[in-house]
Amino acid sequence: MSSNHIGSRIEETASRIEPELVAIRRDLHAHPELAFEEVRTAAIVAERLASLGIAHRTGVGRTGVLGTIDTGRPGPTLLLRADMDALPIHEQTGLDFASTVPGKMHACGHDLHTATLLGVAEVLAGIQPMLSGRIQLMFQPAEEVSDSGAAAMMRDGALEGVDMALGFHNYPGEPVGTFSFVPGVAGGSSDEFTITVTGRSGHAARPHLTSDPIVAAATLILQLQTIVSREMNPMRPIVLTIGVIQGGLAPNIIPDAVRIVGTVRTHHEEDRVAMEAAIARHCAGVSASLRVECALAMERGTPPLVSDAGVMAKTMKAIREHYGDEVVLEAAPSLGAEDFALIGERVPTFQLGVGSGMPGRHDELHNSDYQPDERSIRNGVVALSLAAVELLTAPVG
C-alpha cells in the first residue's frame, strides 16, 4: 500500500476523532491531577484503550497506563510516550473548561499530550495490518517532579523489549501546524542541591558573639553564581539557579541556620561533575572563612535529553513527505529538563516538537493563563502516526 494511501487513512481517522479528542482534553483540563495522583486520568485512558480493543495494564509506575498493539508480525518494538500530570498553579484563563480544582492546572499541555496519544492509539489500531512489530503506548505520570514517573514505569517493566522510543511536546512558541526537532543534545540535565548553613544564634546587637548564617549564606550564593561565569567553559550551556532561601524568624535575632535550595542544568556529563565539585569547594571555603558549617546534599535528577539521529531522521522524513518542508523547524537546544531522557539512556529516543501557538497570543508553558491551540492535537496525531508507520516499516540507522 502506498505511503500516500496510508497518509490519507491517517488523516481521515484523525479528522473523524478530533472532536472526541478535544472533548477528552477539555475534560482532563477541567479535572487536573498532580504527580502520582492521576487516578481519574488513568481511568479515562484505560477505558478508551479498552473500547479500542487495545491490551493494557494499569498501575504501572503507580498511576501509569501501558498499552500494547502487537501486530503479530516480526519487527521492532516502538514506544510512544505521553505525560499526564498537571501543575500546582491556580488557573487564570477564564475558559469554559478551566480547572475546577483550586491550585491545580494543566499549564504544560499534558492534557493535550494524553488526548493526542489516545488518538494515535486509535489510528494505529486501525492500520495495524500495515505495520510490523509492536507498539507500546506509555501514558506516564509525574513528569513534573524529581520523583520521576518515567523511572517508576521503567522499574515496572515499561521498557521490556522496547527497541526505540518517540516522545513529543507541545510548544506555544511555535505556530500551530509546525513541527520541530533539535539534533544532538536537545534538553538539559537537572540536578538539585540543598545547602544547610549552620552558625550560632544570638542577639542582633551582639553579632560578634554569633556565627551569622545569613551573611554566610548570602556570601555563598554570590560565590556560587561565579562558578558558571568564571570557572566553566562559556561556550557550553550551564545554569545554576537558587530557588529557595529560608532562614530567620525575627529582625533582632541572628538565627542558627539558613537553608538554600537550587538546581544545576548542563548539557554534558563532565560539566555536571565539575559543577558538583565546585559547589562543594565553595561550601568548604565559606565554612572555613565565616565560622559556619555548610552541609551540602546533591541529588542527581534527569540526564540531558539527546535526540537519536536515526529515530529523528525517520520521524522528520515521514512528516516532510506528508506536509512538506515548510512546516518543519529546527529548534534551539534548551536547558529545560525532561524525564523522557531517562528512557534515552536505555534505548534510542527522539522528542518531537508540536507547534501549539495560538494566533494572536504569546503563551508560555507553566503560566496561569496558558491557552494552547487545540488544533495541535490533531496535528500531533497525524505526525506521530506517520512517524510510527515509518519507524515500523523501515530500518532505523
Tally of CA atoms within 13 A in the half-sphere of 339 that contains its CB = 21
Which bin fits 374, alpha (ψ -120 to 50), beta or left (φ > 0)? alpha
Neighbours of 170 (CB within 10 A): 26
At 147, give phi and psi (nearest 5°).
-80, 80
Alpha helices per DSSP H over 200-308: 213-231, 269-290
Cell numbers that stand for 76 in this block: 521492532
Cell numbers that stand for 28 in this block: 482532563
Interhelix angle 110-126/39-51, rounded to 10 degrees, is 20
Rg (CA), the chain: 24
Of the candidates 191, 28, 31, 39, the one whose C-alpha atom is nearest the C-alpha of residue 110 is 28
264: helix, strand or coil: strand
CA distance 57 to 44: 13
CA distance 185 to 200: 45
CA distance 383 to 323: 9
CB–CB of 107/366 below 8 Å? yes
CA distance 16 to 96: 24
At 7, give phi and psi (nearest 5°).
-60, -40
Query: Is 144 annotated for ligand binding?
Result: yes
Neighbours of 184 (CB within 10 A): 11
CA distance 244 to 264: 13
CA distance 51 to 318: 28
CA distance 387 to 316: 8
Query: Is 110 annotated for ligand binding?
Result: yes
Neighbours of 268 (CB within 10 A): 16
CA distance 117 to 21: 10
Query: Is 169 annotated for ligand binding?
Result: yes
**Binding site members for Mn(2+):** 108, 110, 144, 169, 366
**Binding site members:** 108, 110, 144, 169, 366
